[in-house]
Structure 1
Amino acid sequence: MPRVLITGANGFIGANMVLHFIAAGFQVRGTVSGGKIDNFRKVVADKYPSLEAVQVDDFVKGDLTDAMKDVDAVIHVASPLPFGGAGPKDNLNTVVEGYVNVLRQAVKNGISKVVITGSWGSALDPTLKQAFEGLILTEKDWGSVTDEEFLAGNHDLMWTYLAARTLAERAAWDFAAKEPALDLAIINCPMIFGPHAPGFPPPEAGPTALTSTVHIYTLLKGAIPPPLPSLFCDVRDVARAHLAALSVPKAESNVQDKRFLICAGFMFWKDAVKYLHHAHPELKTRLPPLDAEFAPFPGPLTTIDATRAKEKLGMVDYVDWKQTLEATVAGLLEAGKAWGANAAVLSTGDDAVMKAYISRQK
């Protein structure tokens, strides 16, 4: 039975990834940080005997030999954020090495297959203006940013996040191009919604742990998230794409032939509110009213051409927005029972990156 290492196995995306690979017949070794691993093992050990949890606290500088022992492939979900360091140089190194060190460790341990969970933000200019210019993005598109621009340190957190994603992905491909034994794929995703993995510890009551689902939780608090680019993908489809990428042959002439954009379409906040009002009348008092005003988009929405993923990964049918919304809401309501009073302060506006984005709209 093949064994795969999945980083960030306790996170929203990582946990769903674990379940998908177990269902496909894999033994899974999942990484969890030290402060959370005891509870993680306690909760999931009996439910998922095919899952082994190991402690990894540092993907940037750490030696991952033990975590990668007897592993056939690596699924790298747990990418560090470009904030909180000693300065722009430290922050950039954290994000870049968060990718490259995992690749370096894989090569050192004789592992060729690596799939990284990336962001569609790497295909956009970090100003995000291109998201509202009616473009059609493909895998050939890249955000325009240099190390020097990042190191200047004079941009807001939204720009910093998107720029870091672009620079980190470029560094990963540059590394792969110099390592003939490495077979890298990167799955770049838009906003990811969907269910929280059953049988796993509930996510923490904070926007970082909830990732994009914090916007749906904002709706459940009666508030309206900002007019974000509304492209989305269900987390179960994200996991499916990562599994499929392991079967794609190694790129021959251009390593970036295994760069993929995936997307299920659009999920608009107004449509989500209308749907939930009618499908779940018991939630009406929690939702924005049907006549609520939603801020307009700054321009025509850019879309994603996911033809490469369709042809090479078999990503033909995606979970639609209504099914994804249903699963997201169910998971958030269940998690809310565990959060208790902590849930009262949780919304889109509590996230530092989103605060920067919201300030741009004013």
Structure 2
Amino acid sequence: MGNELVLVTGGSGFLGAHCIARLLRDGYRVRTTVRSLNRQADVLALLRRAGVDPDGRLTFAAATLTDDAGWPAAMDGAAFVLHTASPFPAVQPKDPDELIVPARDGALRALAAAREAGVRRVVLTSSFAAIGYGGPVPDRPYTEEDWTDPGAPVSPYVKSKTLAERAAWDFIAGAGGMDLAVVNPVGIFGPVLGPKLSSSIELVQRFMTGGFPAVPKVSTGVVDVRDVAELHVLAMAAPAASGQRFLASAGDAMSLPAIGRVLHDRLGTAAAKVPTRVMPDVVVRIAALFNKQLAEDVVPRLGKVKHLSNAKARELLGWQPRSNEDAVAATAESLLELGLV
């Protein structure tokens, strides 16, 4: 299938650019959407950083999540679509609809245009946010069978990802003739290609620049962006992926103190500012009385480890992700190379 045309939405994003790079390496022709055609140079710069020469196999189309314009042309001739574009805010909005509407309606807009264009399969980038929130943490690893409860008191981002994925599955159930597969990544780490950083990358940046005096005992899921891109391509091409969702995690959850230890072990003197002290839970709770971010983002996670299973992607698609440690180290190494720490 290597010469077929694949549309990647959101090509200027962290994951979108890595998906384009993977597809080009695999011999596919690629078209990508950008909000403005003025962003073409940005995407090409990201690909150069990834060591990929498009060699005439990459084209661009202007389309946004909030407007029908441009989508028919973007989809024209595409056999597959990787829909990675989705809003991700620097801060959570007061009005959840600021995230929910573009995430849900953008996914439906892309799916409708894909159906009209005769696309065979869409791979939607969802998130662990649509799997592991809104209820008690189970005494087992989370799997693709789990769903977030959007009616629970969850953040606007978590709600937006859940409702967008639910809407996509509902659309496909009534569409006929087009396949859907979904990838649900945990925190995406790995090689940075440009100065625009995601929240997971900013976490490592703060470690490297001494932004934490000490680290709380909380955990996060970790996966390398290159492996998430690979999983998208596997889910696109494998017949067995039809109608399936895949939790993308390098392994089990990783604690923030463990991330600090990896940075020290792998980077040596370059990690001199990485904190080694662990902040006791009681100190976190006291500090949270004066810090809204700690109160909202950290305190609820104290003592709660969300264990993760990537068995389905491994067994069904043969996916073999890098380790948590390799993903974290690659993040920091790329930040150093780009002069971002």
The TM-score, its normalising length taken from structure 2, stands at 0.81
Which one of the candidate residues 24, 27, 32 is aligned to 2:34?
Answer: 32
Pair 1:180 & 2:172 matched? no
The partner residue of 2:117 within 106, 109, 117 is 109
Q: Which residue of 2 aligns with 1:192?
A: 188
Change (3 A) 1:333 1:96: same
Query: Residue 261 of structure 1: SS of its match in structure 2?
Result: strand
Q: Does 1:141 align with 2:143?
A: no
Instruction: Quote how far apart the aligned CAs of 1:250 are.
Output: 7.0
- The corresponding residue for 1:23 is 25
3-state SS, counterpart of residue 222 of structure 2: strand
Q: 1:236 to 1:175 in 2, by over 3 A?
A: same
Is 1:245 matched with 2:235?
yes
Structure 2 match to 1:210: 198
Other-structure match for 2:167: 171
- In the TM superposition, residue 18 of structure 1 has moved relative to its aligned partner by 1.0
Of residues 291, 294, 297 in structure 1, which corresponds to 2:277? 291
Q: Give the secondary structure class of the aligned counterpart of 2:175.
A: coil
Kept after mapping to 2: 8 A contact 1:68/1:109: yes
Whole-angstrom distance in 2 between the partners of 1:276 and 1:88:
36
Superposed, 1:294-333 pairs within 5 Å as 298-315=302-319, 317-333=320-336
CA 1:38–1:170: 2 relative to 1, 3 Å: closer
In the alignment, structure 2 segments of 5+ residues that lack a partner are 285-300
* Matched-pair contact (CA < 8 Å) for 1:248–1:312: no
* Residue aligned with 1:245, SS: helix
Q: Deviations over 1:94-140 (max 9, x none)?
A: 221111110001001111210011101111234xx645x54422222
SS in 1 for 2:31: strand
**1:61 counterpart = 2:67:** yes
CA–CA separation in structure 2 for the residues paired with 1:35 and 1:2: 23
Query: 1:96 and 1:181, CA in 2 relative to 1: closer, same or farther beyond 3 A?
Result: same
* Counterparts in 2 of 1:124 and 1:271: CA distance versus 1, 3 Å: closer
| Aligned equivalent of 1:282, options 266, 269, 272 | 269
Q: 3-state SS of the aligned residue for 1:145? A: coil
Query: Structure 1 CA distance, aligned partners of 2:280 and 2:328?
Result: 18
Write out per-residue CA displacement over residues 283-322 of structure 1, whole angstroms, 9 at most, x where no aligned residue: 243322x33536585234122233321222212x320122
Cα separation, partners in 2 of 1:185 and 1:103, compared to 1, 3 Å: same
Name the counterpart of 2:290. Answer: none
User: Alpha carbons of 1:211 and 1:48: their partners in 2 closer, same or farther (altered >3 Å)?
Assistant: farther
**Preserved contact between residue 233 and residue 263 of structure 1 (Cα < 8 Å):** yes
Deviations 1:233-276 (A, max 9, x none): 1111111111111223277xxx7x41121211233321222232
Tell me which of 223, 240, 261 is aligned to 2:247: 261
The answer to whether the 8 Å contact 1:124/1:130 transfers is no
For the 8 Å contact 1:130–1:302, the answer to whether it is kept is no
Q: TM-score, normalised by structure 1?
A: 0.77
Shift of 1:323: 1.5
Q: Secondary structure at the match of 2:339?
A: helix
Range with greater deviation from structure 2 (178-187 or 226-235): 226-235
Q: Which residue of 1 aligns with 2:58?
A: 52
Q: Check whether the contact 2:34–2:61 (CA below 8 A) recurs between aligned residues.
A: yes
**Structure 1 match to 2:257:** 270
- Asked if the contact 2:216–2:278 (Cα under 8 Å) also holds between the matched residues in 1, the reply is no
2:183–2:246 contact (8 Å) kept in structure 1? yes
After TM superposition, give the deviation of residue 85 of structure 1 in Å. 8.3
Report sequence identity in percent: 28
For this pair of structures, how many residues does the alignment match? 312
Which amino acid in structure 2 is aligned with residue 183 of structure 1?
A: D
SS at match of 1:59: coil
Q: Residue 95 of structure 1 aligns with which residue?
A: 103
Structure 1: unaligned runs, 5 residues or longer: 150-154, 338-342, 344-362
Offset at 1:227? 5.2
1:57, CA displacement in angstroms? 4.2
Is the contact made by 2:123 and 2:236 (CA closer than 8 Å) also made in structure 1? Answer: yes
User: Aligned-pair distance for 1:214?
Assistant: 1.1
Shift of 1:282: 2.2
CA contact (8 A) 1:80 1:98 kept: no
* RMSD between superposed Cα atoms in Å: 2.8
- For 1:273, the aligned partner's letter is G
Distance 2:94 2:260 in 1: 41
Return the letter of the residue paired with 1:80.
P
Contact 2:189 2:328 (C-alpha < 8 Å) held by counterparts: yes
